[in-house]
Amino acid sequence: MNLYDNLKHRVRYYLLRTLPTCRQTVEKISQSMERRLTLQERFKIKLHLWICAWCQWYLEHLQLIRTTARAKGDEAIDLAPGVALSDEARERIRRKLTNLN
Amino acid sequence: MSEPQLKSLDPSPDPGRWLDEHGDYLFKYAVFRLRDDNAAEDAVQETFLAALKAYRQFEGRGSERTWLVGILKHKVVDHFRRLGREAPIGEEVDEGPEHREFFERTDQWQGHWNAARAPSEWHASPAELLERDDFWKVFSDCLSPLPQRTASAFTMREVDGLKSEEICEILSIKTNNLWVMLHRARLHLRNCLEMNWFKRER
């Protein structure tokens, strides 16, 4: 292990011991999608993400889920492929509508 | 130069044609959000009934489908609102399981990701996922095990982009409940997608 790696390892270890755990961090990551975090909260997350690829991926996944789900929600083409009203439901609604007319 | 084609203003509404032309589309819209065929059928029916009543206000302005979807949106929210009201008063809001298992470890790193349950890299682009019908099937199946209100809160937030305050009002819950619900839904859904899509597909 060269000097740089050794130092990096020590810093990482120190930060993981001192910073909030992954469990606490993912909860904050979720909240960051709901409200503006305080400067201190953001700083702790930034540091945690710097040394933790798992939480970094977690954040990216949440963002990907939001982006795609909202794009899908806006999309006017096909929200539920292959899904259609059953013949029975269609007839029931048709009867209901024509009886009123 | 030809005149732009204007739809003749039909004085009387034709619900039978609405059903043929827009029924399936509206049903898809509702099913994607409610994940319940019966509730979605009811929402479609209520939409047409409301459309009949409100036909005078529409008067052929704009696209018929957009107008019907606008009504359906309200019906979907009404359904969620009923979910909020039907929850027993005074009882704890069911926020779903806490998912501690993701962070159970036997070593000194308790509270950090359990390596076997931790996220992995996905290598996916939104554009590509949007095209994959089977991905949305998995997505919808993954929401099914969540408590109803949690799934609804998630849908309103992440699919329709409603504001937190609106969702709290619709479901009659407090902001803190909503945050916990969304957090747990995300933990579950992210893991479920990873297990059933991202690890299988590649």
pLDDT band at A62 (very low <50, low <70, confident <90, very high): very high
pLDDT, position B62? 77
Half-sphere exposure of B54 (CA within 13 A, CB side): 14
B200 has a chain A CB within 8 A of its CB = no
CB atoms B133 and A81 under 8 Å: yes
Chain B residues closer than 8 Å to A13 by CB: none
Among residues 59-98 of chain A, which lie with CB inside 8 Å of chain B? 60-62, 64-73, 75, 78-86, 89-90, 92-94, 96-98
pLDDT, position A12? 85
B122 has a chain A CB within 8 A of its CB = yes
Q: How far is A94 from chain B (nearest CA, A)?
A: 6
Chain B residues closer than 8 Å to A35 by CB: 164
Q: Which residues in chain B come in under a pLDDT of 70?
A: 1-11, 59-60, 87-92, 201-202
B140 has a chain A CB within 8 A of its CB = yes
Mutate to test the interface with B, among A66, A88, A93 (most CBs of B within 10 A): A93
What does the pLDDT look like over B5-57, one tens digit per residue? 555 555 577 888 889 999 999 998 998 888 889 999 999 999 999 998 887 77
The average confidence (pLDDT) of chain A is 89
Quick one: angle between helices B133-143 and B175-193, nearest 10?
Answer: 130
Residue B142 tokens read as: 């993954």
Chain A residues closer than 8 Å to B178 by CB: 34
Say what the ipTM of the complex is: 0.84
> Against a cut of 0.90, is the pTM above it?
no
pLDDT, position A44? 95
Region A64-89: mean pLDDT is 81
In the block, tokens 């827009």 appear at: B22
B183 has a chain A CB within 8 A of its CB = yes
CB B181 within 8 A of CB B146: no
What does the pLDDT look like over A44-54, one tens digit per residue? 999 999 999 99
What does the pLDDT look like over A2-34, one tens digit per residue? 888 899 888 888 888 888 999 999 999 999 999
Chain A residues closer than 8 Å to B23 by CB: 85, 90, 93
In the block, tokens 């509270």 appear at: B111
Q: How far apart are CA A13 and CA A51, in angstroms?
A: 9
Pick the closest to residue B38 from B26, B30, B49, B47 (CA basis): B30
Chain A residues closer than 8 Å to B64 by CB: none
Q: DSSP for A50-64, please give it.
A: HH-HHHHHHHHHHHH
Cα pseudo-dihedral A39, A42, A48, A54, rounded to 10: 180
The two counts, helices (H) then strands (E), for chain B are 10, 0
